[in-house]
Amino acid sequence: MRCDVLAVGTELLLGQIVDTNSSWLGENLAMHGFDSLSQVKVGDNIGRITGHLRRMLSESDAVIMCGGLGPTHDDLTREAIAEVMGVELHLNEDVADVIRHLFSSRNRTMPKNNLRQAMVPDGATIIPQTRGTAPGLICPVVIETDSGPTERVVYAVPGVPHEMREMFERAILPDLQERSGEHWTIASRTLRTWGESESGLNERLDDIIRDLDAEGNPTLAFLASGWEGLKVRLTGRAPDESAAAALLAPWEEKIRKVLGDQVFGADNDTMESVVLDLLRARGWTVALAESVTGGLVSGRLTGVVGASEVFRGTIVSYASEVKFDVLGVEEGPVVTEEAAIAMAEGARKVLRADVGLALTGVAGPSEQDGMRPGTLFAAVALPDGEPDRVTSAHVRLPGDREMMRQLSVISALDLLRKRLLEIR
């Protein structure tokens, strides 16, 4: 069954409000096995709203309309639905009483135009409001098709996200499931990777993708997510959760076998949470020296609950003099592999940690020490006695200043992660 989304409001087109409702609905419809193949934004104009609604109903089984249910003159969703249904609007006294009571309970006078929210198309079913004043609507619409008259359905919900989501879960989803006669569980498994481009991953997984395309279920998608990593998401449909998990498991195993340690986690894992877990498992603490990232790595680490068990602190050695005077870097160029190693050793010593991690580089827009923007040097210093105690990396990163700094964070943490995995 196909259910598309029509978001109503000129403010969406002007960028004054970001349309998060459509993305949330798309995700949740897919989770329950419903196709959502079109999402449209339209301004507060009755002709354009009805035009889009008629076209969408000709292509899909259901349409969810978000917004346009307020009390003002430019809230036109009810009128548009009534016009497409070919019916009149009537005042629903039960809804009107709820709105009146809501105002009186707050010792406020109700503006007369609030009763617009109690106007309901003939034949529509009300979704009672539990959090605001505007009720939702379930509206059957009969359209002419090549095979004759066919019933579709329009759902109207407020544009306020928490009101929309509650109505979807309480009323719309059960109604869709009843109409479709199908109850599916959609499960996803997201593998988080770092170290290769999206096109590179795609090429390495070509054989698996070809096999998945032949099967049709599950499916695979890539999602580049900046310093959250490059995600490889498997999505499968099955009658229940256990069957869905069993469907995804062998494909996940195949992907992990191809990608190896480029997979740093799954689902809600982050690079920083994985690194902290690896350090915790060894009973080691870590200290940082950050130059180009100015404390971003530390911010990511301290965002993880329990980081204090492992993380000692950071020295933001943005000025060269701090590198020389505090971390013991030799005077001279500071965007070098040697400087990064000295910074890691210095952070470990000054902050009395088992492990030191350091980053120095050029975010741009200008060159520094003869190095171009996008240059990162990172280094890891392990405890005394560990083999190959010091490791460093020279990385060239894409993007503008902010992107380079963010990608430096995950790149440096990945260097530390891989080094910790090598230790037995």
- Asked if residues 63 and 155 have their Cβ atoms less than 8 Å apart, the reply is yes
Question: 211-229 pLDDT, tens per residue?
Answer: 999 999 999 999 999 999 9
Average pLDDT, the chain: 94
CA 185 – CA 355 distance, rounded (Å): 44
Handedness of CA 108, 114, 117, 122 (dihedral sign): positive
Q: What is the pLDDT of residue 311?
A: 98
Say if residue 328's pLDDT is above 90.
yes
Show the CA angle centred on residue 262, arms to residues 257 and 265, nearest 5°.
90
Helix (H) or strand (E) holding 62: strand 62-66
Helix axes 271-282, 401-422, angle to 10 degrees: 30
Residues of each domain in the chain carrying CATH 3.40.980.10: 3-180
CATH assignment of 185-266, given 3.40.1440.60, 3.40.50.300, 3.40.630.40, 3.30.70.2860? 3.30.70.2860
For residue 99, what pLDDT band results from cuts at 50, 70 and 90?
confident
Q: What is the pLDDT of residue 172?
A: 97
Residues of each domain in the chain carrying CATH 3.30.70.2860: 185-266
Residue type, 40: V
Q: What is the pLDDT of residue 33?
A: 82
For residue 72, what pLDDT band results from cuts at 50, 70 and 90?
confident
Q: What is the pLDDT of residue 241?
A: 86
For residue 170, what pLDDT band results from cuts at 50, 70 and 90?
very high
Superfamily, domain 271-422 = CinA-like (3.90.950.20)
CA 422 – CA 424 distance, rounded (Å): 6
Say if residue 4's pLDDT is above 80.
yes
Question: 13-56 pLDDT, tens per residue?
Answer: 999 999 999 999 998 998 888 889 999 999 999 999 999 999 99
Beta bridge partners of 139: 154
Q: What is the pLDDT of residue 131?
A: 76
Q: What percent of the chain has pLDDT over 90?
A: 82
CA 321 – CA 336 distance, rounded (Å): 15
For residue 314, what pLDDT band results from cuts at 50, 70 and 90?
very high
Q: What is the pLDDT of residue 186?
A: 82
CATH no. of 3-180: 3.40.980.10
Higher pLDDT, 111 or 228: 228
Question: 125-140 pLDDT, tens per residue?
Answer: 999 988 777 899 999 9
Cβ of 20: how many Cβ atoms within 10 Å?
12
Among 180, 202, 182, which residue's Cα sits nearest to residue 193? Answer: 202
Question: 232-273 pLDDT, tens per residue?
Answer: 999 998 888 899 999 999 999 999 999 999 999 999 999 999
Q: What is the pLDDT of residue 182?
A: 74
Question: 368-410 pLDDT, tens per residue?
Answer: 989 999 999 999 999 998 888 999 999 999 999 999 999 999 9
Show the CA angle centred on residue 372, arms to residues 369 and 375, nearest 5°.
90
Q: What is the pLDDT of residue 365?
A: 92
Q: What is the pLDDT of residue 410?
A: 98
CA 390 – CA 347 distance, rounded (Å): 13
Say if residue 155's pLDDT is above 90.
yes
CA 60 – CA 38 distance, rounded (Å): 9
Question: 78-95 pLDDT, tens per residue?
Answer: 999 999 999 999 999 988
CA 110 – CA 103 distance, rounded (Å): 6
Helix (H, G, I), strand (E, B) or coil at 194: coil
Say if residue 8's pLDDT is above 90.
yes
> Which whole number is the average pLDDT over 305-315?
97
